[in-house]
Structure formats: C-alpha cells, structure tokens
Chain A
Amino acid sequence: DAGITQSPRHKVTETGTPVTLRCHQTENHRYMYWYRQDPGHGLRLIHYSYGVKDTDKGEVSDGYSVSRSKTEDFLLTLESATSSQTSVYFCAISAGAGISGYTFGSGTRLTVV
C-alpha cells in the first residue's frame, strides 16, 4: 500500500480547544491535501500544499490552518474547535498535476463535544 498515514484515527475534543491532525507520507509526493467528508456533502477540500511551506486554501478553509515544514508531513490545525467541525478528515497525496490520481489515508474521525 501507498505510504500515507494519518494520526490519530479517532479523537474526541471539547469545543474551543485547539486540535492538530497529522498526515505523514513516505512517497515523496509534492502535493498534499486535507479534505473533510460529511453526509450529503461528499469530500470537500480544506487546504492543500504544493511544496514545503507552500499552501493554499480550499473551499471550506475557515477555522482551519495548515503547515508543511517537511515534504513528508502536512498538519491540519483547528484553532478553536466547534461542533460544526465534527467530521471525518482525510489526507491525500498526489505525485503531480494533470491526470495524477490521489492516494488517500484512512481518515481521522473527529468529534467535537
């Protein structure tokens, strides 16, 4: 299997607390993405990275920040978690632009109470 891991797999946190999710890849791929998946909405892009320290916003970026200090790691931070951020979060990697497919991690189920 492709080398992409997400941690933690499950997390319960309280409203107002900061939360960081980690995505780690061993494929040396340039592009990394964070998506959230919610019933009725499908997968929606939060942020993405096209290189070390190069990141940009997706369609649902409010309340989230990201960092990529190394090729292999892409961190997603919820600055102050809200109940609307309860979701399943997926990280994905891609070798490049064009027709490259994405390889997804197994996801992190986050519950904000």
Chain B
Amino acid sequence: TQLLEQSPQFLSIQEGENLTVYCNSSSVFSSLQWYRQEPGEGPVLLVTVVTGGEVKKLKRLTFQFGDARKDSSLHITAAQPGDTGLYLCAGKTGANNLFFGTGTRLTVIP
C-alpha cells in the first residue's frame, strides 16, 4: 500500500488569507493529482503534475511536485468561501491505479 499523508487534516481560515496544504509519502510516484470534493459529490480533478519540481498554477491555486516526486503542496492565495471543500492528493506508481491521501478539509469563513 502506498501511504500518502496529508496535513493538516482540518484547516479553518478567514476569507482573504493564504494557506498551504501538504501531501507526503515515502514512495516515488510517476505522477500526482489533486482533487477537490464537495459534500455529497465525488472528487473533481484539479491538476496533474508529472515532473519533479514542476509547478502548475490554476488561478489562485499553485501546485508543486517535489523534486524527488515523493511529495506535493497546494497553495491557495486569497482564499474564498468557494474554496471550501476536501482536498485530496493521489499518486500513481507504475500501474494505472491511484492511491489517495486522507485529505485536508478546508473551511473558508466569509
């Protein structure tokens, strides 16, 4: 089993603040994905990172893949209430299957 640990588990911040959530593993992944899940729905893909050190930006969200391809971070600038949700990282090894972290539950307070 590929263990992906996410931190923090819970995060509650005020609108407009910045935040970073982390995804760490002892395993090397060929690619890593980030998903956001809202209550009562399935996860929705935000981004895929493939190359060690890669940085991708999606509006106010910045994703980084660690140089060794074992970890990743998600930084949100000027958080908004619409960013509220469960953020999941998921890594792929040689096979096609994704292994998911336990998630960071983010609440942005207006």
Interface positions of A (Cβ within 8 A of B): 31, 33, 35, 40-45, 48, 50, 58-59, 90, 92, 94, 96-99, 101-107
Known A-B contacts A42-B88, A48-B97, A94-B96; the reply to A101 vs B33 at CB < 8 A is yes
**Segment 52-92 of B: residues with Cβ below 8 Å from A:** 88, 90, 92
Which residues of chain A are near B102, meaning CB under 8 Å?
Answer: 40-42
Q: Using C-beta atoms within 8 Å of the partner chain, give the interface range for chain B.
A: 20 to 34
Q: 19 more A-B contacts (CB under 8 A) besides A101-B33, A107-B40, A107-B41? A: A35-B100, A40-B102, A41-B102, A42-B100, A42-B102, A43-B43, A45-B97, A50-B96, A58-B97, A59-B1, A92-B42, A94-B96, A96-B96, A99-B31, A99-B48, A99-B92, A102-B90, A106-B41, A107-B42
Which residues of chain A are near B88, meaning CB under 8 Å?
Answer: 42-43
Which residues of chain A are near B98, meaning CB under 8 Å?
Answer: 45, 102
Partner of B45, one of A33, A97, A102, A105: A102
**CA A40 to CA B102, docked complex, whole Å:** 6
B50 touches A43 (CB 8 A): no
Partner of A42, one of B31, B45, B92, B101: B101
**CA A44 to CA B92, docked complex, whole Å:** 13
Q: Which residue of B lies closest to A58 (CB)?
A: B97
Interface centre among B42, B45, B48, by most chain A C-beta atoms within 10 angstroms, is B42
Chain B 4-47 interface mask (CB, 8 Å, partner A; 1/0): 00000000000000000000000000010100000011111100
**CA A98 to CA B29, docked complex, whole Å:** 11
Which residues of chain B are near A94, meaning CB under 8 Å?
Answer: 96
Known A-B contacts A42-B88, A59-B1; the reply to A103 vs B100 at CB < 8 A is no
Which residues of chain B are near A97, meaning CB under 8 Å?
Answer: 96
25 A-B pairs, CB-CB below 8 angstroms?
A31-B96, A41-B102, A42-B88, A42-B101, A43-B43, A43-B88, A43-B90, A43-B100, A45-B97, A48-B97, A90-B42, A96-B96, A97-B96, A98-B96, A99-B31, A99-B50, A101-B33, A101-B45, A101-B48, A102-B45, A102-B90, A104-B42, A106-B40, A106-B41, A107-B40
